[in-house]
């Protein structure tokens, strides 16, 4: 009797490799835009005459629309067609980036950053869902998700590096200009590589109430977290913003439960390990992503590094994350994703804790690089493994939603971590200044306290990782074993 014919590997084909390269370029572009402006902020402030409260929106504006609209972007990709939504998001970023580079006033620059976030919220879930539906579950998808996770982790560090190089080289405006030609290349490649999955019609209606409640709640939550360090956590404005966000999100969940065509079908959480993977991502982002913020401030404000030096300091981080991502894919193919998630989160946290010992008279090679390298090893492993676990067993018709949930968790976690840890750092620095400590010492004490708490938060993600899916990527049963099959609402 003839053996059953095996489906050929799409990843082994030239088209499959080009498709993966295209999708990872999209991921890299979206993630890098979140951090690429950081080291250039002092120059932007000086040239455009911005005060500190306005300057923060050059960073926060992107985060606000990116995190707030991600869920909507993912659902639109499932309903309207992933290729269509990917093209729309790429066009948005291309135009917004060109406007940002030409901006001669703070309002125009912040508007461009808000628009970039809208484009990213459309692009990213569409691209990740194209990946999970293009590469069949098993070794192909495992390898593809590993490369994707590596690109995402790499971008977080590479953004600081590229921002420093561009800001001190051709100028900060090239931080924005460089996006446009990349977007044009993506737009040229998408029709050639991504099949047209446009739906002729949407079955049922669109959840307008759920869209309003979910998007409004997420954007209000991100806005409240961004403004909390400025107003104070006990301030009436902060409490009103966060309370309003909680009310909207509770109403959103109630609406989704009874809606005939929900924006976020709650049945997706029946997939074993999905909720844990998202919570792991949120917690890890809260503890780890703030590290880039505080270490960059430390190098520029305490060690006196310029934009180029601060950017180049992250080059070893980028290389290590990339190497760790590649090795971790081979590791969890043998032992499963769960041990890699747990170990990776713990190592990441320990690296951030190591960085909490930075002294005022420190040096890069002795006090910064070792901790960053340890953190990078863990981050490269956990981002790849958790992305794989979060997408294991997800039906194709919910791939965009699953991608949006994971990336929303990362953005909310990043906003929460920076908000909480900034408050901790500021409180510590203020107390030390009041006690008569010199300014640089007091500032460093604040960074130390924030990094210590951030490291402990990242370590706690290892505990949550105990409940994630333990997929080896060999077949669909790995991720869905002992679980009811997901019901599509």
d(CA 472, CA 258): 36
In angstroms, the CA 58 to CA 261 distance is: 36
Helix, strand, coil percentages, rounded to 5, for the chain: 80, 0, 20
Contacts of 425 (CB under 8 A, 6+ apart): 294, 446, 447, 449, 450
pLDDT tens-place string over residues 331-386: 887 899 999 999 999 999 999 999 999 999 999 999 999 999 999 999 999 988 99
How big is the chain by its Cα radius of gyration, in Å?
A: 22
Q: Two tokens at 310?
A: 């601060």
Number of Cβ within a 10 Å radius of residue 436: 7
pLDDT tens-digit map of 229-278: 878 888 999 999 999 999 999 999 999 998 888 889 899 999 989 999 99
Per-residue confidence (pLDDT) for residue 6, from 0 to 100: 57
Give the rounded percent of residues in the chain with a pLDDT score beyond 70: 93
Write down the mean pLDDT value for the chain.
Answer: 88
Q: In the 8-state DSSP scheme, what is residue 46?
A: H
**CA-to-CA distance for 248 and 440, rounded, in angstroms?**
42
Please tell me the predicted confidence (pLDDT) of residue 198: 65
67 pLDDT tier (thresholds 50, 70, 90): confident
User: Is the per-residue pLDDT at 185 higher than 60?
Assistant: yes
Query: What does the CA dihedral 281, 282, 286, 292 come to, rounded to 10 degrees?
Result: 50
Question: Is pLDDT of 64 > 90?
Answer: no
More confident residue, 238 or 54: 238
**C-alpha distance from residue 329 to each of 123, 194, 326, 340, 372 (Å):** 25, 25, 6, 9, 21
Percent with pLDDT over 90 in the chain: 55
- pLDDT value at residue 480: 39
What's the predicted TM-score (pTM) here?
Answer: 0.85
């Amino acid at each position: 009797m003839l053996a059953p014919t095996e489906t050929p590997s799409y990843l082994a084909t030239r088209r499959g490799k080009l498709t993966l390269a295209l999708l990872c370029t999209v991921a890299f572009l979206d993630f890098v835009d979140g951090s690429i402006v950081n080291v250039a902020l002092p120059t932007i402030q000086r040239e455009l005459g911005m005060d500190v409260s306005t300057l923060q929106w050059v960073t926060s504006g992107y985060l606000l629309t990116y995190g707030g609209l991600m869920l909507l972007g993912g659902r639109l990709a499932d309903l309207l067609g992933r290729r269509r939504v990917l093209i729309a998001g790429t066009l948005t970023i291309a135009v917004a980036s060109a406007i940002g580079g030409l901006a001669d006033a703070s309002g125009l620059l912040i508007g461009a950053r808000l628009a970039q976030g809208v484009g990213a919220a459309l692009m990213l879930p569409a691209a990740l869902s194209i990946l999970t539906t293009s590469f069949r579950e098993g070794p192909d998808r495992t390898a593809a998700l590993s490369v994707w996770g590596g690109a995402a982790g790499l971008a977080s560090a590479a953004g600081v590096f590229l921002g420093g190089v561009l800001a001190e080289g051709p100028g900060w405006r090239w931080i924005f200009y460089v996006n446009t030609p990349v977007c044009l290349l993506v737009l040229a490649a998408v029709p050639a590589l991504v099949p047209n999955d446009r739906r002729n019609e949407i079955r049922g209606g669109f959840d307008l109430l759920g869209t309003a409640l979910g998007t409004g709640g997420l954007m209000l939550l991100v806005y409240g977290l961004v403004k909390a360090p400025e107003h104070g956590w006990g301030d009436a404005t902060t409490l009103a913003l966060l309370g309003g966000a909680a009310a909207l999100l509770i109403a959103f969940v109630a609406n989704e439960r009874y809606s005939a065509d929900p924006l976020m079908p709650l049945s997706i959480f029946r997939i074993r390990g999905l909720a844990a993977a998202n919570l792991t991502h949120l917690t890890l982002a809260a503890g780890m992503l703030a590290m880039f913020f505080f270490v960059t401030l430390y190098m520029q404000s305490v060690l006196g590094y310029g934009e180029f030096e601060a950017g180049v300091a992250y080059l070893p981080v980028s290389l290590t994350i990339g190497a760790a991502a590649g090795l971790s894919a081979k590791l969890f193919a043998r032992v499963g994703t769960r041990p890699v998630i747990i170990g990776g989160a713990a190592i990441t946290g320990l690296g951030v804790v190591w960085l909490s010992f930075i002294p005022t008279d420190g040096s890069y090679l002795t006090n910064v690089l070792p901790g960053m390298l340890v953190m990078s090893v863990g981050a490269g492993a956990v981002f790849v493994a958790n992305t794989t676990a979060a997408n294991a067993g997800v039906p194709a018709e919910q791939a965009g939603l699953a991608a949006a949930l994971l990336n929303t968790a990362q953005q909310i976690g990043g906003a929460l971590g920076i908000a909480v840890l900034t408050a901790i750092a500021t409180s510590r620095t203020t107390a030390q200044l009041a006690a008569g400590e010199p300014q640089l010492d007091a500032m460093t004490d604040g960074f130390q306290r924030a990094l210590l708490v951030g490291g402990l938060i990242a370590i706690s993600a290892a505990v949550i990782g105990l409940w994630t899916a333990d997929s080896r990527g060999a077949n669909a049963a790995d991720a869905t074993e002992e679980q009811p099959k997901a019901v599509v609402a």
